Amino acid sequence: MVAMTAFIGILIACIIVIKNNPQETAVVVGAFGSILITVVALPKIIAENLFPKHDNDKSIELIKEVFSGDIGIRKHHQDGVRNRE
Rg of the chain, C-alpha, whole Å: 27
- DSSP 8-state code for residue 52: -
Q: In terms of C-beta density within 10 A (0-12 exposed, 13-18 middle, 19 or more buried), how is residue 31 classed?
A: middle
- The tens digit of pLDDT for each residue in 22-52 reads 887 888 888 888 887 887 788 888 888 887 7
- Mean pLDDT over each residue of the chain, to the nearest integer: 78
Band of pLDDT at residue 56, cut at 50, 70 and 90:
low
- What does the domain layout of the chain look like in residue ranges? 1-51, 54-85
